[in-house]
């Protein structure tokens, strides 16, 4: 099979490998699409090395189809039957550490991840070991594989939403209009909230298309003033920081209404610090929360949301590349040529929407 592996930090190689060996309680999936994100790019460039196994096959936003079950598995009981379209949650939690037993398997102390420590989706076939069978989630109906692959980023956004009281009367400010920020726009709009998105000028039209009612490219004090005007002087009820810029943390606090919530959703560069006026938190009674990864329940909810059509994220998929052109796909992510880039095994030509 063809696979994109990482023999050393900063190096990505397209190689031919033997098909994975199917154990008696393993499952083989034929990969249909893997979408790329900034984490993949950081791994390829060598910026992210923690938890990355040398030689691993990259890719953690995976849509696939069940191909073969191990001899000890019962179709439809232990695992979906061959031919079933599925998403694959990347988080393999241990189930017995303190976070897992507290219901926070998304931050498992012994977490393994498809695409960093376990071979991921940038290949023709992926092996799901017995310990990860619960990561396989069937789709309720057949949908475009690149769209199903978005269940992974959507699941992370849904995880954050469990900690944010967004309703039809909420004013929600999204800082960052990359794919994650745009998913947050779509979720908040679906809840009936009034949404302002702040980001790069080139990403403001997509934010409007995905549900934002107001967009801005303002920064710093100008952004604070814009938010105050938009909210009638009150500020946003919920502010989601969807880009890893620590300088946005104090700005977010200034933009948040009394009793409001700030979500530090994005991952920030290691070792960076953010300064915030503690009196803003104290006197405005702000709640600041974080959110990382997703639980299997979050992932199942994401697959259901996409496969039932409850949320349409198809405008996010702007480019598709065959696996043979994975380098070009990563270049499209690096240059921000579009929104989400999908890699599809077996496809011969790149496409742009």
- Mark whether 13 and 148 lie in a shared domain: yes
Average confidence score pLDDT of the chain: 95
| Token couple for 182 | 């745009």
Task: Assess if residue 159 is contained within a domain.
Answer: no
- Mark whether 205 and 261 lie in a shared domain: yes
- Mark whether 35 and 87 lie in a shared domain: yes
Q: Are 62 and 152 in contact (CB under 8 A)?
A: yes
Task: Assess if residue 106 is contained within a domain.
Answer: yes
- Mark whether 142 and 82 lie in a shared domain: yes
Name the domain boundary from 249, 275, 290. 290
- Mark whether 325 and 347 lie in a shared domain: yes
CATH at 244:
3.40.50.720
CATH at 137:
3.90.180.10
Average pLDDT of span 99-114: 97
Specify the number of domains making up the chain: 2
- Mark whether 282 and 301 lie in a shared domain: no
Name the domain boundary from 290, 307, 341. 290
Task: Assess if residue 54 is contained within a domain.
Answer: yes
The neighbouring-strand residues paired with 85 are 65
**Residue ranges making up the domain that contains 68:** 2-152+294-352
Q: Are 122 and 57 in contact (CB under 8 A)?
A: yes
Task: Assess if residue 96 is contained within a domain.
Answer: yes
- What is the structure's pLDDT at 347? 65
- Mark whether 91 and 42 lie in a shared domain: yes
Give residue-wise pLDDT tens across range 38-97. 999 989 988 888 889 999 999 999 999 999 999 999 999 999 999 999 999 999 999 999
- Give how far Cα 175 sits from Cα of 149, 268, 353, Å: 24, 14, 26
Q: Are 289 and 163 in contact (CB under 8 A)?
A: yes
- Mark whether 40 and 114 lie in a shared domain: yes
- What is the structure's pLDDT at 348? 56
Pairing of strands 11-16, 2-8: antiparallel
- What is the structure's pLDDT at 352? 58
- Give how far Cα 148 sits from Cα of 89, 314, 350, Å: 11, 9, 19
Task: Assess if residue 157 is contained within a domain.
Answer: no
Name the domain boundary from 267, 290, 313. 290
- Mark whether 142 and 170 lie in a shared domain: no
Pairing of strands 340-344, 317-322: parallel
- Mark whether 280 and 248 lie in a shared domain: yes
Give residue-wise pLDDT tens across range 293-343. 999 999 999 999 999 999 999 999 999 999 999 999 999 999 999 899 999
Q: What percent of the chain has pLDDT over 70?
A: 98
Task: Assess if residue 56 is contained within a domain.
Answer: yes
pTM: 0.95
Task: Assess if residue 158 is contained within a domain.
Answer: no
Spatial distance between the Cα atoms of 185 and 181, rounded to a whole number of angstroms: 6
Spatial distance between the Cα atoms of 36 and 339, rounded to a whole number of angstroms: 10
Spatial distance between the Cα atoms of 122 and 145, rounded to a whole number of angstroms: 14
- Mark whether 36 and 121 lie in a shared domain: yes
- Mark whether 129 and 11 lie in a shared domain: yes
Give residue-wise pLDDT tens across range 172-227. 999 999 999 999 999 999 999 999 999 999 999 999 999 999 999 999 999 999 99
164 Cβ contact partners less than 8 Å away, ≥ 6 residues apart: 238, 240, 261, 263, 289
- What is the structure's pLDDT at 11? 85
Spatial distance between the Cα atoms of 234 and 332, rounded to a whole number of angstroms: 40
Closest CA to 39 of 333, 326, 345: 333
Task: Assess if residue 176 is contained within a domain.
Answer: yes
The neighbouring-strand residues paired with 322 are 344
């Amino acid at each position: 099979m063809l696979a994109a592996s990482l023999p050393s930090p900063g190096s990505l190689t397209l190689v031919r490998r033997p098909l994975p060996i199917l154990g008696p309680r393993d499952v083989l999936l034929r990969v249909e699409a893997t979408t790329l994100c900034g984490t993949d790019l950081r791994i390829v460039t060598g910026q992210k090395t923690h938890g990355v196994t040398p030689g691993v096959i990259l890719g953690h936003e995976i849509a696939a189809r069940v191909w073969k079950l191990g001899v000890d598995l019962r179709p439809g009981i232990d695992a979906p039957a061959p031919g079933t379209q599925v998403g694959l949650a990347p988080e393999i939690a241990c189930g017995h550490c303190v976070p897992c037993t507290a219901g926070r398997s998304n931050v498992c102390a012994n977490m393994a991840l498809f695409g960093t420590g376990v071979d991921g989706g940038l290949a023709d076939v992926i092996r799901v070991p017995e310990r990860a069978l619960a990561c396989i989630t069937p789709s309720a109906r057949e949908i475009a594989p690149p769209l199903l692959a978005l269940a992974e980023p959507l699941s992370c956004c849904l995880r954050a939403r469990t900690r944010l009281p967004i309703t039809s009367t909420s004013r929600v400010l999204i800082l960052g209009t990359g794919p994650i920020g745009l998913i947050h726009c779509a979720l908040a709009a679906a809840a009936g909230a009034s949404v302002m998105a702040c980001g790069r000028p080139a990403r403001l039209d997509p934010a409007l298309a995905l549900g934002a009612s107001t967009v801005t490219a303002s920064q710093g004090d100008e952004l604070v003033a814009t938010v105050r005007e938009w909210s009638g002087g009150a500020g946003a009820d919920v502010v989601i920081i969807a880009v890893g810029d620590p300088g946005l943390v104090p700005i977010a606090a200034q933009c948040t209404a009394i009793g409001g919530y700030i979500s530090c959703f994005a991952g920030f560069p290691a070792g960076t610090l953010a300064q915030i006026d503690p009196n803003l938190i104290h006197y405005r009674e702000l709640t600041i929360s974080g959110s990382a990864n997703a639980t299997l329940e979050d992932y199942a909810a994401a697959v259901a949301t996409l496969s039932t059509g409850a949320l349409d994220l198809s405008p996010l998929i702007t480019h598709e590349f065959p696996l043979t052109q994975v380098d070009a796909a990563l270049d499209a992510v690096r240059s921000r040529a579009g929104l989400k880039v999908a890699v599809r095994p077996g496809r011969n030509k790149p496409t742009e929407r």
